[in-house]
Chain A
Amino acid sequence: MSILKGAALLILAFFYTVTLEGIARKITARIQRRYGPPFWQNFIDIFKALTKHSISHGFIFDFGVLMAFGGTIATVLFIPAGNLVVFPGLDNVFVVIYLLAIGLLGMAMSSVGSGNPNAGIGIGRALTQMLGYELPFMIVLVGVFFQYKNSSLSDLVNIQIESGQYNAWLMPLGAVVAFISLLGMLGKKPFDVFIAPAEIASGPLVEYSGKYLGMLLIQHSFAVFIEIGLFVNLFLGGGRTIWEFLVKFFAVFFLAVIISSIMPRFRVEQAVKFYWKWPLILSFVQTIIVIVSAGR
């Protein structure tokens, strides 16, 4: 049963996120007063990449791609999507965060294994930026866990649904900080310095071609599902049904796309400086408020 559920969740994550990314391209085009590609363009891109020839740069390169792909798929299975929960009770936030790191590390290993200096620079920037956004995000998470004395995703969702009060209303500062961190996780502008196509030739992805690229595009869509799903479950109360979850998912994604399509790009040290200034202060303030109000 859980195998079927897992397969359903993976298929849902893939098709929903890729469709949304196509819609995001359309939205960006409309903001720039263009017509934009059809919303299924991203499917064509991914499947076309899978039909192309590809080149390998050695064992580490191949293995890292599989590690990133496998690690991300494993993480998707722990995200509760409305009433579609594959492992009830096991979906602890820490599990998600640790499994997600496997995917990222696989990616980093494989990119550096390609030997291209642009990939090395891109990975260096990605990890530096990760240092920036993880810190405020984790502090906000600590506040959330302290509030409920619980760190299981589906339990947190159930508590929020039963009380009728989402964490976004209970701790608005924390939600804002988490959203800003989410932009960094997704690599949306203004925090897309590690991709930076014009500067470092799309950074970590520079040496991937054909089937490797197709796999990494699928991996990317899964990663988007995980990151936004985490935010929706933690702060917007997931959903009673799967549709409610998907609608909330779309709302968060839409907001991120709108913000990213009108923003210029931070340099990496500016991004880290930004994260360690306002989001960090706000996250501390939020956590102190949570702790003090819980103590009373």
Chain B
Amino acid sequence: MNSMNKKIFNEIKAIFKNIEFTDIDERKYSVIIPKEKAVSFLETLKRKGFSHMSLITCIDWIAEKEFEIVYTLFNWETGTTLMVKTRVDRDNPILPTVMEIWPTAKYYERDIHEFFGVKFEGNPDLRPLILEKWEEIPPMRKDFDSAKYSKEHFPDRAYDVDFLLEGSESNE
């Protein structure tokens, strides 16, 4: 951890109590923040130099019944990547939007809403972005059975068995 990052992180630690910056790799850190503080935390990070929001993504922790939203931020002065993780209840996934901080977040939030069903309060436009005519549960959730859906909607081809056996190991 070089001095520049240390300085920023210490300043942030002074504002937000009980947070821990984990060292993943060289110039790569992660931090976990409760969802109530997420927006003010990201706002502070932006003012402290992490001005570039590269990506917002989501992970479905089905055993813990939680969604994890990951904001990937980048600092152009120190070349540091910081992953801000926040967790939200799987049954009632509602988060405040970060569109006021980064307007480009609109499309990432649309995408997450479409594929995980996480609602972002304050985002005016949560229409589907990629899927068309989707009636099932959001497809990136772990309890969605992709193979079953594919089998129901898109019929497959049946091959003659002797063609497949030729040249395979079971042919001996």
Indicate yes or no for A touching B, C-beta below 8 A: no
Chain B positions within 8 Å of A, measured between CB atoms, are: none
Chain A positions within 8 Å of B, measured between CB atoms, are: none
